Amino acid sequence: MENITNNHMHFLLKILKSPEEEYNANSIAKKMGISSMGALKIAKSLEKEGILITKQMGRAKFYKINLENDYAKQYVKFLLRREAELSSPSIKRWISEIKKIKNASLAILFGSVLRNEREAKDIDVLLIANNKSFKMLKKEIKEINLINTKQLHPIYQVEEDIKNNIKKGDKVVLNAIKGIVVFGEDMLISMLEK
């Protein structure tokens, strides 16, 4: 994990959190606002470390994270945690509130709060839980909402539902997984691996 720049982090997390897209150096460079050569340099270094794998289509190489490699999984998990830690103080406040939740396996903060916390009317959070935990989870959300000026707006899913929604290309779920993972990094990685 040497030389992890913000561009390395954004490059990998963009690929991880966009299972509906295939990225080559040019397309990811445009999304990130960097040069194609910069993206290619990042890709080559990550490929050399075994974190990225490539698929050749015509003259272009398309990149995927090598989620069969344990080192790559740990690297991505580290980056997901780092992304949360590097958040602004107002986002960290909501991360702290969401971390109080005990009856979910995965929580992702997403939506307007990430763009402009002051103008966000509510706080969008994707929560994954098993069927047995839903009742307690809803109670937890209700309790958190009693003490906050802005309300958590949860999207509840069971693991099987979210996998199917990712496969179907459900826009709400695909948007949500692009947010900040509060907890449950392993579960997200596992779902995206499949």
**pLDDT (tens digit per residue) in 25-54:** 999 999 999 999 999 999 999 999 999 999
Residue 61 shares a structural domain with residue 124: no
148 occurs within a structural domain: yes
* Separation in Å, CA 99 to CA 125, 157, 178: 11, 17, 18
CA 186 to chain centre: 11
Say if residue 194's pLDDT is above 70.
no
Query: Can you give the CATH number for the domain in which 54 is found?
Result: 1.10.10.10
- Local structure of 14: helix, strand or coil: helix
Q: Are strands 180-183 and 106-110 parallel, antiparallel or unpaired?
A: antiparallel
Residue 154 shares a structural domain with residue 125: yes
Q: How far apart are CA 80 and CA 17, in angstroms?
A: 10
Average pLDDT for 135-164:
93
Residue type, 80: L
pLDDT band at 158 (very low <50, low <70, confident <90, very high): very high
Say if residue 4's pLDDT is above 90.
no
113 occurs within a structural domain: yes
**Percentage above 90 pLDDT, the chain:** 81
Q: Please give the radius of gyration of the chain, using alpha carbons only, rounded to the nearest integer.
A: 17
Number of folded domains that form the chain: 2
Average pLDDT for 135-156:
94
Domain that holds residue 16: 6-70
Q: What is the pLDDT of residue 2?
A: 53
